[in-house]
A = this chain, B = another copy of it.
Amino acid sequence: MKIAILGAGAWGTALGLVLDKNGHEITLWSHNAEGLREIQSAGRNVRYLPEVPLPSTWLFEPSLGVAIRSAGAVVMALPSKAFRYVAEQLGALSCPIVSVTKGIEYETHRTMTEVLRHCVPNARISALSGPTFALEVALGFPCAIVAASREQSAAEETQALFHRTIFRVYTSTDVPGVELGGALKNVIAIAAGVGDGLGFGDSSKAALVTRALAEMRRLGVACGALPDTFAGLSGLGDLTVTCFSALSRNRRFGERLGRGEKLQDLLARPKELTEGYPTARSAYQLARRIGAETPIIDEVYAMLYKGKNIVDSLRDLTARSSKPE
């Protein structure tokens, strides 16, 4: 099948390699035509995934209209802030569209598949989320992930596209649970990274992760998610690896803050920017609207958007830990 991957970051590229191995024909689209040419001429994603060569059969298409024209399926691998802009241009599609973006839209508080349902009403929409690093997937390391859609048949369709022995795809119909798990854990990972940067140690991080999963579940359930989803790959699995792994960009972002780097300096380097940064604000807004108690998200929001001192934030986080979770 011809599959258009929208977004030429590390994750879109890595998933293209999975789909390619499953026999699909890959077209990679990006709004950045120059970046696409660079990838094409180098035969690898020099900027975001330089470790892995790309098959010579891939097409690199700077026109979105051309890229999706004959696609049998579309993969949305964009930053959340660009997601709606691109989704709005897919309005007429009725093929499967798979969101692999982990975020919550600012102000609307919509997850990415909610944005898709709004913009592309006739498409068969699913989310693919779980504890997976692009580099590990691209290198063929074993991993497991969840395809979620309101209809089991659409989840299975996505499963069939991506599933391989070493890239195990499970299915779920709890779309908000799977998407919120993937989005919220990036916010928590920033807090975990700040603790790393301040030298708080792994024992305290384990306590943070334990409380965080309860917080994510509380907020998720208030949004209509099923509690058990947060004990699965897209909740517990993704949260723990993002908070503990050296490969996690959100954790590293927090670690740099914890070590004393200035937020402005990190924000000025787009490559350092991670989804946890915008999601902290969206999740904070969402929790206020819904009335859910989210002490960890609140502190990350205060650190990133209200100029709160990170040491004060971590201390307040500890002080608010008045009951076990």
**Which residues on A are within 8 Å of B, measured CB to CB?**
130-133, 136-137, 139, 141-144, 146, 165-166, 168, 170-172, 200-207, 209-210, 213-214, 231-233, 236-238, 240-241, 243-247, 318, 321, 323-325
Contact between B237 and A207, CB atoms less than 8 A apart: yes
Per the bound structure, the CA–CA distance linking A137 and B236 in Å amounts to 25
What is the count of identical protomers in the complex?
Answer: 2
Q: Which residues of B contact A237 (CB under 8 A)?
A: 206-207, 209-210
Partner of A231, one of B132, B213, B318: B213
Per the bound structure, the CA–CA distance linking A205 and B245 in Å amounts to 10
Partner of A206, one of B200, B207, B233: B233
Q: List 30 A-B contacts (CB under 8 A).
A: A131-B206, A131-B207, A133-B202, A136-B201, A137-B203, A141-B203, A142-B200, A142-B201, A142-B203, A142-B204, A144-B203, A144-B210, A144-B321, A144-B324, A165-B318, A166-B318, A202-B241, A205-B241, A206-B237, A206-B241, A207-B237, A209-B237, A209-B241, A210-B233, A210-B236, A210-B237, A214-B231, A233-B324, A240-B243, A241-B244
Name the distance in Å between A216's Cβ and chain B's nearest Cβ.
Answer: 11
Name the distance in Å between A128's Cβ and chain B's nearest Cβ.
Answer: 13
Name the distance in Å between A242's Cβ and chain B's nearest Cβ.
Answer: 9
Contact between B207 and A236, CB atoms less than 8 A apart: no
Taking CB as reference atom, which chain B residue is nearest A233?
B210
Contact between B321 and A132, CB atoms less than 8 A apart: no
Closest 5 CB pairs of A and B: A131-B206, A170-B324, A143-B203, A206-B241, A244-B244
Taking CB as reference atom, which chain B residue is nearest A168?
B321
Q: Which residues of B contact A139 (CB under 8 A)?
A: 201
Per the bound structure, the CA–CA distance linking A219 and B139 in Å amounts to 35
Q: Which residues of B contact A201 (CB under 8 A)?
A: 133, 136, 139, 141-143
Q: Which residues of B contact A130 (CB under 8 A)?
A: 206-207
Name the distance in Å between A292's Cβ and chain B's nearest Cβ.
Answer: 18
Given contacts A136-B201, A206-B131, A324-B172, contact A240 B231 (CB under 8 A): no
Q: Which residues of B contact A244 (CB under 8 A)?
A: 202, 240-241, 244-245
Q: Which residues of B contact A246 (CB under 8 A)?
A: 202
Taking CB as reference atom, which chain B residue is nearest A230?
B231
Q: Which residues of B contact A213 (CB under 8 A)?
A: 231, 236
Q: Which residues of B contact A200 (CB under 8 A)?
A: 141-142
Q: Which residues of B contact A247 (CB under 8 A)?
A: 202
Contact between B132 and A241, CB atoms less than 8 A apart: no
Q: Which residues of B contact A136 (CB under 8 A)?
A: 201-204
Name the distance in Å between A226's Cβ and chain B's nearest Cβ.
Answer: 13
- Please indicate which of the listed interface residues A144, A168, A205, A324 has the most CB atoms of chain B within 10 Å of its own CB: A324
Per the bound structure, the CA–CA distance linking A45 and B205 in Å amounts to 26
- Please indicate which of the listed interface residues A168, A214, A240 has the most CB atoms of chain B within 10 Å of its own CB: A240
Per the bound structure, the CA–CA distance linking A232 and B243 in Å amounts to 17
Per the bound structure, the CA–CA distance linking A139 and B209 in Å amounts to 21
